Amino acid sequence: MNHWQIEYTAEYHRQQILEEVEHIQLEKLALESRARYPNRIELTILSFANWMISKGRQLRKRYEFTAVNCGNPTRVASQIKG
């Protein structure tokens, strides 16, 4: 083998390595940008959280009293002592 053929082979292998590196980088980018879908446990927890929020709103509507509906305003501790 002469010197030129060795240099040509080394350059060819270097180009192949650079193409493989670029391909790997593109694969990583594609995997990172892929849409993530929740699994069954995450969906169950999400639906349970939404149920708790809706029940909490219903309970708040049922048991929360506003100052307008209250006949006697609550007295402050300083007014009770005096």
The Cα 30–Cα 27 span in angstroms is: 5
Q: Domain ranges in the chain?
A: 1-47
Residue count (the chain): 82
* Surface-to-core class of residue 27, CB atoms within 10 Å of its CB (0-12 exposed, 13-18 middle, 19+ buried): exposed
Specify the residue for token string 């929360």.
Answer: 64
Say what the pTM is.
Answer: 0.40
Query: Could you give the percent of the chain with pLDDT greater than 70?
Result: 74
The Cα 42–Cα 44 span in angstroms is: 5
Q: Is 66 helix (H, G, I), strand (E, B) or coil?
A: coil
**Given this model, what pLDDT does residue 70 score?**
54
- pLDDT tens-digit profile of 31-71? 887 777 778 998 899 899 899 888 888 777 777 665 555 55
